[in-house]
A and B are shown apart, each in its own frame.
Chain A
Amino acid sequence: MAKHIKATKHTATIKDHAPIDRAATKVLVICGGMSHERDVSISSGHRVGGYLEEAGWNVATHDMDSELLPYLSDPETRPDIVWPLLHGANGEDGSIRDILEMEGLPYIGSRAKASRTAWSKPIAKNVVRKLGGLSTPVSVALPESTFRELGAKKVVDLLVSSLKLPLFVKPTQGGSAMGCTRVDKASELPQAMVNSFAYGDVALVEKAVTGTEISVSVLEIDGEPLVLPPLEVATPDGDYDYEARVTPGPTDFYVPARLPEAVLEAAQEAALTAHNTLSLRDISRADFIVDSAGVPQFLESNVAPGMTATSQLPQTAIAAGYGLADLYSRLVESVLRQHRADQ
C-alpha cells in the first residue's frame, strides 16, 4: 500500500478540478537545442509528445532556434502550455524558462531561478547539505584561472593531499557524464582537469564514493509529491560513462534498487528533500551514490531528466505500475490547474 508523505514546501491549494479539453489544449514540447545532448533531447521530446498525443492532447514539437519566439507569439500557433525537454545548457540552466516566463506561458518544470541553482553542481550540493541536511561527497570547485595564477602543479598536488584519492573530476555544469573522469592515481589528475575544463571554466573535484548508483524521480501532481522508487544503475564495470549511456548494451536498471528497505526509504526522503530545498517544481530526478554505510550521498538534481524509452524516470514509473500517457497527462493537467489558480 502506498505510503503518504507530506510536501514540506508551500503549494497552492488547487480546487479547480474542472475538466480540461485535451484536444483543444495546445501542448508544445521544446526539444533539440545546441547542447551535447541534442539527440537525447529530441528523443525525449518525441517520446513525451507521443504519449501526450496518445492521451488526446493537441501536441506540437519545436526546436530551440530562431523560429521559436515567433512561433510562441503567433496567435495561430501559441501554445496553452509548454513542456521544455531540453537537456544541458539552455534547457537546464534556466534560460528557456526565463523566456517562457517573459512570454507569460505556463510550463512544466522548475522555475528559472531554481533551475539555475540545480544546474550548478557545487551550489546545489551546498544547498541540500546546509538547508536539507543531506550528505554529499566532499568536493571543491575551482576555476581554471586558479590553476593559472597559483601554478597548476601546486594546486593539483594540494587537491591530492587534501581530498585523497580516488577522486572524481567533472564540469560544474552539464550532464551525460561528458568531461567526467575518475582519478585513481595522482598522475591522472592533470589530464582529468584538462578534460573537465574543456567543457566549462569551473571544475568540480569530488571525493569518489564507492557504492550503489541510484536515481530517485519526483513528480508533483496537484501540489502533492509523488516520489518514485529508487532505480539502481548496474553496469558490468561499474562505469556509467557517456558510452554506457548512449550505447544499447549490458547496463541494467533495477527498480527498486537492490538495497535494504530502510535505505530505500532514506533515499526517497533525500530525493524529496533535495526537490524541496532546491525549490524544484513538477518533475526532477536526483542522483545519489549509496555508500557502504547505507547513506545516500547526493550528487546532483536534474530539472529536465531524460525521458527517452530507456531513460531512468520513465522506466521507474513503468516499474511502479504507471501508464506514461496517463502520468504525463496528469502532470500537464496539474500545471494547467495551478496556472489557473495563480491567475
Chain B
Amino acid sequence: MSETKNISGKPNEGKAAAKATESKVFKNDPWYDSYAARAGNMRASEIRALFATASRPDVVSLAGGMPYLEYLPFKELSELIAKMLVDKGDVAWQYGSAQGNPHLREDVLQIMALEGIKDVQPDDVVISNGSQNAIDLVTRIMCDPGDVVIAEAPNYVGALGVFSSFQVDVVNAQTDKDGLIPESFEETIKAQLKAGKKVKFLYTVPNFHNPAGVTMSVERRPRIIEIARKYHVLIVEDNPYGLLGFNGQTYPALRSMDAENVVYLSSFSKIIAPGMRIAWIVAPPGIRKKLILANEASILCPPNMSQMTITTYLDNFDWKHQISQYRGMYKERCDTMDAALHEYLPYCSWNKPKGGFYIWLKIPEGLNSKEMLPRAITAKVAYVAGTGFFLDGSGTHHMRLSFCYPTPDKITLGIKRLAGVMNNELKTAELFGTASADADERQADRTADTDKKD
C-alpha cells in the first residue's frame, strides 16, 4: 500500500509511513450516526458560512435584524447598574424564579397595555431567554413529532429552526398585504384535519412581519380568532415589533381579544436591546404552568442580572420616549431604502412596510437570491436570501433587506451595490435565456438608469 514518500531518511518518518499502509477512515463527523433524528433537521448553509465575510466593516449588511443601539443612555445606565449591583448584587448574581423576576413581570404589564392587553396580572406572565426560547418552550409543551403548526409564508426563520428541531410539520397559510388570509387559514386547518393530522397551533407575527413586512389588518383579527376557536387551534402571537409602527400607530393584539386561546409572546430585543436576551409570555393558566415547568427543565431560570438590568432601565428612564426615537429613526431608514430601491432596482417589487425592520424584495425570474449571495458579499453588500424563510427550498426569488442597523448613507450605498450585482447577473441570465420574459422591460430600466447616472 501507499506510503509517505520522503528523502529525509529520518527513522521516525519511516515508522510513520508504515502506519499508513492500511486505509484509515476519517469521518467528517464521527458522531454522525449517533445523532437523534431531530438533529438531522438542523442544517448549516452557505448563507451562515458567508456571515463571517458579511460582518466585516466594509460590507454593508442589509442582512441582520439588529436594532440600532447608539441612542441608548449607556453612561447613565451603567451608573445605575453599578448601584444596583452594590445594593442587590447577591440577588442579581443568584438563581431566581423559573417564572421570572416578579418586578419585571409587573413592569411588562404597562408595555402590553399600549397594545390593548389590560387584563393581565403579573402571575400570568412567564419570563424567557428571548422570544426564541419562548417559541421553543411553547413548541416543547405542545408538539409531538409529526404534529402540524400553521404559519404565515414566508416564515420567521428563527421559528422554523425551532419547529424543525421538534420534527413538527410546518404548513403555510397564504398571506397578502393585509397579513394572514382567514379563508386560507381555515382551509389549511380543514385540509390537515382531513389528512388525520393534529393541528396544534397557529404561529403568527401579526405586526410588521419578519420577513414579509406586512401587518394583519384590524378587520381580519377577530375572524382569525373565531376560526381558531372553532377548530380548537391555539394561536401563538409573536409580537416583537408592535410598538415600532413608524407613525406611532398600534394594532389591537390578538391576545386583547381572547385570553383563553392565545399565547402572547413579546420581547425587549427590538424595543430596548437584544443583548439581555429577555422576553415574556402570557398564557392561559394551564399552559402557563406547563411553561414554567418547561422553563425550569430547560434553563432553571431566566438570568436575574439581565432581568434586573431591564427593570433598572424601565424604572429610571423615559422608555416610551426612547421607543418613539427608535420609530423616527427606523422610519427614516425605511424611507431611504424605499427611495434607493425605486432609483436603483425599479424592476423589483416590494411592499413598503409601515413599521418594523424589513422589506421583502421580489427579484426577477431567472435570478436566484441564494446563489447570488456570495457575489453580493464580494461586492460588499449582504442580505438574507428568501430560501431561509421556507423549509421546502422555495424563496429563491425573494430576499429580506433590513433597514434597522445601517445608517441611511450605508443603506443607499448597499442598494446601489446590490443593483450592480443584480444587473450583471441579469445580463448573463438573459444571454443564456434563463431569465424571465419581461427582460426587455428590465433592459430599458437599466439603460435609463445608466443614462441617468452618466
Contacts and interface: CB of A to CB of B under 8 A. Distances in A.
A248 B432 contact: no
B86 interface: no
B28 A152 contact: no
Given A190-B432, A247-B43, A2 B50 contact: no
Nearest to A5: B5
B24 A319 contact: yes
Contacts of B429: 194
A228 interface: yes
Interface stretch (B161-169, B184-192, B371-379): B371-379
Interface in A254-311: 254-258, 261, 264-265, 267-268, 272, 310
B7 A225 contact: yes
B3 interface: yes
Interface string B24-46: 11111100100000000001111
Q: Which of B2, B4, B371, B378 has the most CB of A within 10 A?
A: B2
A232 B20 CA distance: 13
B141 interface: no
A134 interface: no
Contacts of A199: 374-375
Interface stretch (A13-21, A36-44, A204-212): A36-44
B53 A191 contact: no
Given A2-B4, A227-B6, A320-B16, A34 B375 contact: no
B428 interface: yes
B376 to A, nearest CB: 10
A178 B372 CA distance: 11
Contacts of A194: 425, 428-429, 432, 434
A222 B8 contact: yes
A39 to B, nearest CB: 4
Contacts of B44: 246-248
A298 B283 CA distance: 63
Interface residues of B, number: 49
A256 B28 contact: no
Contact of A36 (B19, B23, B374): B374
Contacts of B46: 178, 242-243, 246
Contact of B3 (A2, A178, A224, A318): A2
Contact of B433 (A34, A190, A198, A272): A190
A2 B1 contact: no
Given A144-B428, A254-B24, A321-B19, A34 B2 contact: no
Contacts of B24: 254-255, 319
Contacts of B434: 190-191, 194
Contact of A256 (B20, B53, B372): B20
A255 B428 CA distance: 42
Contacts of A230: 2
A230 B3 CA distance: 9
A334 to B, nearest CB: 10
A34 B378 contact: yes
Contacts of B377: 36
A36 B51 CA distance: 10
A2 B14 contact: yes
B45 to A, nearest CB: 8
A309 to B, nearest CB: 10
Interface in B333-387: 371-372, 374-375, 377-378, 380
Contacts of A225: 5-7
B49 interface: yes
A272 B4 CA distance: 12
Contacts of A251: 27-28
Contacts of B52: 38-39, 42
A248 B28 contact: yes
12 contacts: A1-B18, A3-B3, A36-B377, A193-B428, A198-B428, A222-B8, A228-B4, A249-B32, A253-B25, A253-B28, A310-B28, A321-B18
Given A228-B4, A265-B2, A320-B20, 16 more contacts: A2-B18, A38-B53, A198-B371, A224-B6, A226-B13, A229-B20, A230-B2, A243-B46, A246-B49, A248-B32, A252-B26, A252-B28, A253-B27, A254-B25, A255-B23, A267-B2
Interface of A: 1-7, 34-36, 38-40, 42, 65, 144, 147-148, 152-153, 156, 178, 190-191, 193-195, 197-199, 221-222, 224-230, 232, 242-243, 246-258, 261, 264-265, 267-268, 272, 310, 315, 318-322
Closest 4 pairs between A and B when the two form their complex, measured CB to CB:
A321-B16, A264-B2, A39-B52, A248-B29
